């Protein structure tokens, strides 16, 4: 099953992807995570991406499409869930073209819908583990010991692009460049709008209902 998970910054894409992966055995391909790893590794791509990410702008399409095409080509046959990609109509077109060249297509698109005010609160309260990538929230999803990861005890950190100013720009960028991707998919794919102004378990239930249908159609 090939799934695209769309939604504004902080809508809960990463949180839900971890649950989708556990339930359906898909691979989680997050463009943001891959870019952060490139930066941590000090690669040329990581250096090129840095200023865009830190200011809340999108990394140029050609860099992202190449990076994600490689990641997708390495994914096992069981399928994947794309998180943060595609993020422009051009990226979506390129992805469709690449998949069509090998007789494939995106099976289902899930679009997490939630107001800007709520996502801003979610992002500015997010803390994550630099060791294992676990994600917490200072109010909604607290670790057992404040500031420490439940899994490995590492000190939790705030992403540099999660400051209020950068979050505001990421939201503007989302509405200008990424929201049109939803309309792109609505023209030619199965798209489910998911109300993401709910708690994490309720959103998971809505998502699993849709993915169960998709999985049963695929046999
Ligand atoms: P990326 O890492 O993709 O960031 P994003 O899309 O802005 O998404 P986030 O990771 O911030 O949020 P999320 O939806 O995953 O929310 P989460 O589950 O963590 O991209 C970063 C940058 O990389 C971009 O700005 C851009 O520069 C670049 N980039 C990446 N992809 C690109 C592309 N394709 N093209 C060009 N540039 C690209 O949840 C957030 C918080 O809320 C957490 O604390 C969580 O615990 C909490 N939470 C989650 N769900 C709920 C809930 N239901 N109720 C309460 N709290 C919740």
Task: Tell whether ligand 1 has an atom less than 6 A from the beta carbon of residue 28.
Answer: no
- Please tell me the distance from the alpha carbon of residue 100 to that of residue 129, in angstroms, as a whole number: 37
146: left (phi over 0), alpha (psi -120 to 50) or beta: beta
Task: Tell whether ligand 1 has an atom less than 6 A from the beta carbon of residue 64.
Answer: yes
SS3 assignment, position 186 = helix
* The pLDDT value given to residue 68: 98
Is 87 a known active-site residue? yes
Quickly count: other Cβ atoms within 10 Å of residue 89's Cβ. Answer: 17
Instruction: Provide the pairing of β-strand 27-30 with 80-83.
Output: parallel
Task: Tell whether ligand 1 has an atom less than 6 A from the beta carbon of residue 59.
Answer: yes
Of 19, 159, 198, 210, the active-site residue reads: 159
* The pLDDT value given to residue 183: 96
* The pLDDT value given to residue 77: 85
pTM: 0.95
Query: Among 31, 138, 177, 207, which residue has the most ligand 1 atoms within 8 Å of its CB, making it the best to mutate?
Result: 31
The H or E element containing residue 30 is strand 27-30
Average pLDDT by consecutive 10-residue portion of the chain (219 residues)? 97 96 96 96 97 96 97 92 98 96 94 96 93 92 96 95 94 97 95 96 98 87
* The pLDDT value given to residue 90: 97
Is 121 a known active-site residue? no
Task: Tell whether ligand 1 has an atom less than 6 A from the beta carbon of residue 140.
Answer: yes
Q: Which residues fall within 8 angstroms of residue 55, CB to CB, at 6 or more apart?
A: 166, 169
* The pLDDT value given to residue 218: 79
């Amino acid at each position: 099953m090939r799934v695209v998970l769309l939604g504004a910054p902080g809508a809960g894409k990463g949180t839900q992807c971890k649950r989708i992966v556990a339930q359906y055995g898909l691979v989680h391909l997050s463009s943001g995570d891959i870019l952060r790893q490139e930066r941590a590794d000090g690669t040329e791509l990581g250096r090129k991406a840095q200023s865009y990410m830190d200011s809340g702008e999108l990394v140029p399409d050609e860099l992202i499409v190449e990076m994600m095409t490689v990641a997708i080509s390495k994914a096992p046959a069981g399928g994947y869930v794309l998180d943060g990609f595609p993020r422009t109509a051009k990226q979506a077109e390129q992805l469709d073209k690449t998949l069509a060249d090998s007789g494939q297509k995106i099976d289902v698109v899930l679009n997490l819908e939630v107001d800007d005010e709520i996502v801003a609160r979610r992002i500015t309260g997010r803390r994550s583990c630099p060791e294992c990538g676990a994600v917490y929230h200072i109010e909604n999803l607290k670790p057992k010991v404040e500031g420490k990861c439940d899994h490995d005890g590492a000190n939790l950190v705030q992403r540099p692009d999660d400051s209020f100013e950068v979050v505001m720009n990421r939201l503007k960028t989302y509405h200008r460049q990424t929201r049109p991707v939803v309309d792109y998919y609505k023209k030619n794919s199965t798209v489910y709008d998911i109300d993401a102004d709910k708690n994490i378990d309720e959103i998971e239930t809505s998502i699993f209902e849709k993915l169960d249908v998709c999985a049963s159609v695929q046999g």
